[in-house]
Amino acid sequence: MLIVGAGLSGIGVARRLSAELPDLAYAVLEARGATGGTWDQFRFPGVRADSDMYTLGYADRPWTGRASMPPGEQILRYIREAAAEGGVEARIELNHRVRRISWSSASARWCVDVERGGTGEVVRLHSRWVFAAGGYYSYDAGFTPMIEGQDRFTGRVVHPQEWPEDLDCAGKRVVVIGSGATAITLVPALAERAALVTMVQRTPTYVMPAPIQDKLAARLSRTLGTDRGYATTRRIRIGSQALTWRFCRRHPRLARRLIRSINAAQLPDGFEVDTHFNPPYDPWDQRLCASPGGDFFRAIRDGSAAVVTDRIASFTEAGLRLESGRELPADVVVTATGLQLQIFGGFPIVVDGVRVHLPDRVVYKGMMLSDVPNLAFAIGYTNASWTLKVDLVAEHFCRLLRHLRDERRAACRPVLPANGMTLRPLFDFGAGYIRRAVDELPRQGDIDPWRMSMRYRDDLALLRDGPVLDEWLQLTPADPTPADPTPAEPVPAHLAQPAGGHR
């Protein structure tokens, strides 16, 4: 068994496998030189969670920190401690980038080509299963739009995903392009030392203040103990997230008015609320941004930060020129303009010699692809904490593996309904990084289990309470005649043969 990715998702899946299938041999392959995924990659000022840790954390590993939405370094420490405690750390191979996976129906296994960092050597591993747990964006580079005249700018341009260690914004004029969760995090953090931080947004975003600490969680922990207190807080948070989302979707006009009134109370008198905090879309058409302790609004109130709603015409030598003709002087421009969407780590998937074209595939139970055997993946929620979905997928995946083992089945393959169904984009979500890549992604159907659900309650019914098998999951008997004499479980990386080599 191979898990690709040693971030929040990969370590969560590995912990579940270790707990529920302790005899299963598996390895975790991580392309980078460190564990933690997003929380090791992102080092920009103020980096933090935009979901509470009672639901972003693992179900079986309580969050004991004081902050509900803590700084990134605390999340990274939590993930690494969870890996060490769960026996996962010893299974991780760093600097091992998956370059290609190829399935053979004759041998009922994947052949996985892996490049070792530093040497560039490619080794070949074999495994019954591959679990893609690398998230849904590229770690190599973020998205930066082309803006005319950038070569003329005499200052510095940085993307939050590649924040340089030597960048000091103290006393400088900083312009942040974008208005998503990263920008809402960056602005108050930079404003603590910069001369002025100006956020330039083409379109306003819904932003809400959030408590820094969860006082109820602290009381429950004291009363019920750490484990039970965490579990109770988690259930309460899951319920409140779902209620908030449903309220916004069912009553968008009322939700708009409530959010606007809260924003107005947080902003200075005379501030143009409807210009800068009145999005043209309904709440939760895109993700709602959180501001712990109202830090974003506080920076605007004290004058250390400003918001400009306009379009950028070009860079100038000294900053940015807007389409309105206004010029914004800047020493540093931060392009908080989003991610490059990439699922399955960008590596090619080949089944019996034919490369899989992702837009031709349909997701099954939000964790497999039609007509692709023994390949699972985890993509979290866009409207709630990421880990809630990953936990349910990992739990169902363990149930599936146990069934295949007990029934002596080597493989399973989701097969589309013979009578067809209506297909839709994978994500019903309006974020820019989703829209840019929608035509490159698998699709979803209009009936279960072919829907990519974004509702925890529905996934509970499907993944926890629902059956493992159904009419669309085709099973293959165990012990097929192998086409390759290599073992079914992955060869440890330090013993793997070079690609193209022989045993």
Per-residue pLDDT of the chain (503 residues; tens, 9 = 90+): 999 999 999 999 999 999 999 999 999 999 999 999 999 999 999 999 989 999 999 999 999 999 999 999 999 999 999 999 988 999 999 999 999 999 999 999 999 999 998 888 999 999 999 999 998 888 888 888 899 999 999 999 999 999 999 999 999 999 999 999 999 999 999 999 999 999 999 999 999 999 999 999 999 999 999 999 999 999 999 999 999 999 999 999 999 999 999 999 999 999 999 999 999 999 998 889 999 999 999 999 999 999 999 999 999 999 999 999 999 999 999 999 988 888 888 899 999 999 999 999 999 999 999 999 999 999 999 888 999 999 999 999 999 999 999 999 999 999 999 988 999 998 876 666 677 777 889 999 999 999 999 999 999 999 999 999 999 999 998 764 444 333 334 444 443 444 443 22
Q: Which of 59, 6, 60 is nearest to 37 (CA)?
A: 6
pLDDT of amino acid 485: 33
pLDDT of amino acid 208: 97
3-class DSSP state of 466: coil
DSSP code at position 341: B
pLDDT of amino acid 430: 61
pLDDT of amino acid 498: 43
**Which contiguous run of DSSP H or E holds residue 498?**
strand 497-498
Q: Could you give the count of Cα atoms lying within 13 Å of 404 in the half-sphere of its Cβ?
A: 24
b/e for 230-246, b at 16 or more Cβ within 10 A?
bbbbbebbbeebeebbe
End-to-end alpha carbon distance in the chain? 21
Asked if residue 301 lies in contact with residue 191, where contact means CB atoms within 8 angstroms, the answer is no
Structural domains for the chain = 2-140+340-498 (3.50.50.60), 150-335 (3.50.50.60)
Q: What gap in Å lies between CA 50 and CA 71, rounded to an integer?
A: 10
pLDDT of amino acid 386: 93
Count CB neighbours of 99 within 10 A.
15
Q: Which residues contact 455 (CB under 8 A, 6 or more apart)?
A: 242
Q: Which of 183, 186, 171 is nearest to 309 (CA)?
A: 183
pTM over 0.85: yes
